Structure 1
Amino acid sequence: MATNLANKVIVLTGGGGGIGSTIADNYLEQGAKLVILLDNDEKNGADTAKQLTTKYGDNKAVFIKCDLTSEVDEVSKTIFENYTVDVLVNNAGIFDETKLKLTINVNVTALIELSLKFWNHMRTDKGGRGGTIINLASIYGYRVDPYTSIYQASKFAVMGFTRSLGHADNFKRSGVRVVAICPGFTRTNMTVTFTTTDLDRLEEYNEYAKSLPWQTVEAVGDAAVEIFELAESGSAWQIKGGKPVEEVKLKFENNDP
């Protein structure tokens, strides 16, 4: 499924900085009509929207403050009443093994709730015009190590949800493509410090993380453009160490309806 970003209206969670603001910038550079940034950090979100409008022009970026753990219904309603959305990018996430419930609420529950609202709103068999949902998973959505069990569980959930909702049968019915991006270790505010499920292994994990290939947010932003243009629904794509994107080939039993 080849496509492009020209004239698309994008909703992007966690858009106040890091990977989110970089994806927003890249999508506007590729001709997107508007990016709607959702973030719980009002200052960073507003500052990012201002920077993007300064760079690309008025009415190119809008910021809406949103706590994804409690305001999905309200914010979705506001967006649907005011905009015709083409793309949802679920970028917001938390990486903190000391906060189990918040990790699941943000990384899994909020992502699923928002995805389903936009999927049902955009689906062609319900009067919508189709669209794309991009979920930011992680290499931890398909590989394991002994250090961050909670985060890994949340990203495995994202991958399962993406592959099921994005199944070819659902895409055929709905016209809504659902794909996952799986970044490797990326330098952001979220990875300045680490926690581990077993706090006694924190030093070991820090040494392990240092040995892995790291990348910039710009590498992930570039990958997000490429993946948007080439990914088929239900697929997942990795970007590690700033190397070219590569489809994640996982074997699942395919029980077609």
Structure 2
Amino acid sequence: MPKDIQGTTVVVTGGASGIGLAIADAFLQHGAHRVVLLDLNAEQADQATATLNAKHGNKATFILCDVTQDLDQVTKVIIDTYKTVDVLVNSAGIVNERNPRKVIEINLTAVIEWSLKYLEIMRKGGKGGTIINMSSMYGFMVDPYLPTYKASKFGVLGFTKSKGHEYNFKKTGVRLLAICPGVTKTNLTSGYKNFEEKENQEDFVATFDSFPWAEVTRVGQAVVEVFGKADSGTAWAIQGDEPVFEA
């Protein structure tokens, strides 16, 4: 299965900002033919699309999308318009320990549903493809904090490694990869001091502050690096400016 970005069509959920936008930008930098940004924030997405198009030419488009509800209708628009998808990046995610159901729906259930849908599309096309699922350092490490968020990201890692297993890859030709960023400077993490319950906040903030922080551009470029070399069913960690390593 080709690992060449040149000429690819890339779909990115949560693509209007943060890590999703950085990944879209990195794919365009390395030769993607087009990126399709899916997001609920139309204002941010319009701005992101304009920025990418100014930088790379008219190669970015935006479709309003709730990943928990709009899978079938948005996918129909994408396939009707572009005929094929070479890369799906499941990047939409939230942190909200006060609403565990929503966290699981967005961070895990949607990732599974979008992966399964696009796996079938990619395998039927005969070319295969790549599905990149965003997990987290909290997909494989344990501390006392953010248990629901961790559950969602552990789930992403388990699903991706299992569905992307060599046994399945040989049947489908579709590669599934998990990316596990450490703490990254985004709008999401800007509110990290309120992530935990009040009784845990002080200790959590001290722990979070001790981690190496990465810029979103670093994560975007690391994803492109992983895309070029990784086998299906593998997971890759990105922590600060350290080299990418298999998790």
TM-score bucket (shorter structure) = over 0.9
Partner of 2:108: 108
Shift of 1:198: 4.3
Is 1:81 the counterpart of 2:80? The answer is: yes
1:245 matches 2:225: no
TM-score of the two chains, using structure 2 as the length reference? 0.96
- Secondary structure in structure 2 of the residue aligned to 1:31: coil
Deviation at 1:50, TM superposition (A): 1.1
Q: Measure how far apart 1:98 and its partner are.
A: 1.4
RMSD between aligned residues: 1.3
- In the other structure, the counterpart of 1:135 is 133
Q: Residue type of the partner of 1:70?
A: Q
Question: d(CA) in 2 for partners of 1:169 and 1:243?
Answer: 31
Alignment of 1:92-171 (within 5 A): 92-123=92-123, 126-171=124-169
Q: Which runs of 5+ in 2 are unaligned?
A: none
- Corresponding residue number in structure 2 for 1:69: 68
Alpha-carbon separation, structure 1, partners of 2:62 and 2:125: 27
- What whole-Å deviation, never above 9, does each CA across 1:153-198 have from its counterpart, x for those lacking one? 0000000110111010111110100000100011111111234564
Whole-Å separation in 1 of the counterparts to 2:68 and 2:16: 17
1:251 corresponds in structure 2 to none
Aligned to 2:228: 229
| Contact 2:196-2:204 within 8 A present in 1 as well | no
Q: How does 1:200-211 map to 2 (within 5 A)?
A: 200-211=199-210
Q: Give CA-to-partner distance per residue, 1:35-85, whole Å, 9 cap, x none.
A: 000001001111111111111112x00100101111111111211222211
Once the two structures are TM-superposed, the CA of residue 204 in structure 1 deviates from its matched residue by 1.2
Q: Distance in 2 between matches of 1:181 and 1:152?
A: 14
The 1:2–1:69 alpha-carbon spacing in structure 2 relative to 1, beyond 3 Å, is closer
Please name the residue that 2:42 is paired with.
42
8 Å Cα contact 1:149-1:197 kept in structure 2: no
Contact 1:220 1:242 in 2 (8 A): no
CA distance in 1, matches of 2:135, 2:66: 19
SS of corresponding position for 2:188: helix
Q: In the aligned structure 2, how far is the partner of 1:82 from the partner of 1:191? A: 35
Query: Compared with structure 1, are the counterparts of its residues 15 and 196 closer, same or farther at alpha carbon in structure 2 (3 Å cutoff)?
Result: closer
Contact 2:95 / 2:195 at 8 angstroms: preserved in 1? no
Between the aligned partners of 1:127 and 1:222, the Cα distance in structure 2 is: 28
In structure 2, the partner of 1:186 is 184
State the 1:127 CA deviation: 4.3
Equivalent in the alignment of 1:253: none
Q: Secondary structure at the match of 2:191?
A: coil
Matched letter for residue 184 of structure 2: T
**What is the distance in 2 between the residues matched to 1:239 and 1:2?**
24
TM-score (norm. length: structure 1): 0.92
Contact 2:108-2:155 within 8 A present in 1 as well = yes
Inter-partner Cα distance in structure 2 for 1:127 and 1:215: 36
Q: How many pairs align? A: 245
C-alpha change, 1:127 and 1:213, in structure 2 (3 Å) is closer
Identity level (%)? 49
Deviates more, 1:106-115 or 1:127-136: 127-136
Instruction: Indicate the SS of the match to 1:20.
Output: helix
